[in-house]
Structure 1
Amino acid sequence: MLQIPEVKLRDGRKIQQLGVGTYKLEPANTLEIVGAALELGYRHIDTAKIYRNEVEVGQALATSSVARDDVWVTTKLWHDEHDDAIGALQRSLERLQLESVDLFLIHWPVPKLGTAWRAWQDIIEAQQRGLVKSIGVSNFEIPHLERIMAETGVVPAVNQIEVHPHHQRRKLRDFCAAHEIAVESWSPLARGRAELMQERAVVKAAQAHNVTAAQVVLRWHLQHGLIVFPKTSRVARLAENAKALDFELTSEQMLELDALEIVAASGSNPYDFNG
Structure 2
Amino acid sequence: MDTLDQPTVLLPGDVRMPLLGFGTWQATGEAGHAAVLAALDAGYRHVDTATMYGNEAEVGRAVRDSGLRREDVFVTTKLPPDRVGRERETIEASLRALGLDHVDLWLIHWPPSAASDSIPVWRELLAARDEGLTRAVGVSNYGTAQLDELIQATGEVPAVNQIRWGPALYDRRRHAEHRDRGVVLEGYSPFKTTDLSDPVLTRIAAAHDVSPAQVVLRWHVDHGIVVIPKSVTPERIRTNADIWGFSLTAEEMRDIDALGG
User: TM-score under structure 2 normalisation?
Assistant: 0.95
Q: Secondary structure in 2 aligned to 1:201?
A: helix
Instruction: Indicate conservation of the 8 Å contact 1:5/1:16, yes or no.
Output: yes
Instruction: Indicate conservation of the 8 Å contact 1:163/1:169, yes or no.
Output: no
The letter for the 2-side match of 1:120 is W
The alignment status of 1:207 with 2:206, answered yes or no, reads yes
The letter for the 1-side match of 2:209 is N
Match of 1:74 in 2: 76
Instruction: Indicate conservation of the 8 Å contact 2:28/2:58, yes or no.
Output: no
Structure 1 residue 192 displacement after superposition: 6.3
Q: Secondary structure in 2 aligned to 1:42?
A: coil
Superposed CA RMSD: 1.4
The alignment status of 1:84 with 2:86, answered yes or no, reads yes
Match of 2:153 in 1: 151
Match of 1:198 in 2: 197
Partner Cα separation in structure 2 for residue 148 and residue 101 of structure 1: 22
Instruction: Indicate conservation of the 8 Å contact 1:36/1:235, yes or no.
Output: yes
Stretch of structure 1 that moved more, 245-254 or 3-12 = 3-12
Instruction: Indicate conservation of the 8 Å contact 1:18/1:229, yes or no.
Output: yes
Instruction: Indicate conservation of the 8 Å contact 1:83/1:119, yes or no.
Output: yes
Q: Deviations over 1:155-177 (max 9, x none)?
A: 11111111111101332221110
Superposition map of 1:169-188 within 5 A? 169-188=171-190
Partner Cα separation in structure 1 for residue 148 and residue 253 of structure 2: 31
Partner Cα separation in structure 1 for residue 118 and residue 92 of structure 2: 18
Match of 1:261 in 2: 260
| Structure 2 unmatched runs, 5+ | none
Q: Secondary structure in 1 aligned to 2:221?
A: helix
Given candidates 26, 31, 34, the residue that maps to 1:32 is 34
Q: Deviations over 1:48-104 (max 9, x none)?
A: 011111010011122221111111100000011022111111111111011110000
Instruction: Indicate conservation of the 8 Å contact 1:106/1:116, yes or no.
Output: no
Structure 1 residue 38 displacement after superposition: 1.8
User: TM-score under structure 1 normalisation?
Assistant: 0.90
Instruction: Indicate conservation of the 8 Å contact 1:167/1:261, yes or no.
Output: yes
Match of 1:108 in 2: 110
Partner Cα separation in structure 1 for residue 60 and residue 241 of structure 2: 23
Instruction: Indicate conservation of the 8 Å contact 1:75/1:103, yes or no.
Output: yes
Superposition map of 1:208-227 within 5 A? 208-227=207-226
Match of 1:228 in 2: 227
Q: Secondary structure in 1 aligned to 2:239?
A: helix
Partner Cα separation in structure 2 for residue 87 and residue 123 of structure 1: 12
Q: Which runs of 4+ in 1 moved over 6 A?
A: none
Q: Deviations over 1:18-57 (max 9, x none)?
A: 1111011122111001112222222100000111110100
Match of 1:246 in 2: 245
Superposition map of 1:119-134 within 5 A? 119-134=121-136
Structure 1 residue 11 displacement after superposition: 3.1
Instruction: Indicate conservation of the 8 Å contact 1:10/1:180, yes or no.
Output: no
Stretch of structure 1 that moved more, 33-42 or 202-211 = 33-42
Q: Sequence identity, in percent?
A: 38
Q: Secondary structure in 2 aligned to 1:244?
A: coil
Partner Cα separation in structure 2 for residue 227 and residue 121 of structure 1: 25
Q: Residue 10 and residue 129 in structure 1: after superposition, are their counterparts in 2 closer, same or farther (change >3 A)?
A: closer
The letter for the 1-side match of 2:119 is W
The letter for the 1-side match of 2:196 is M
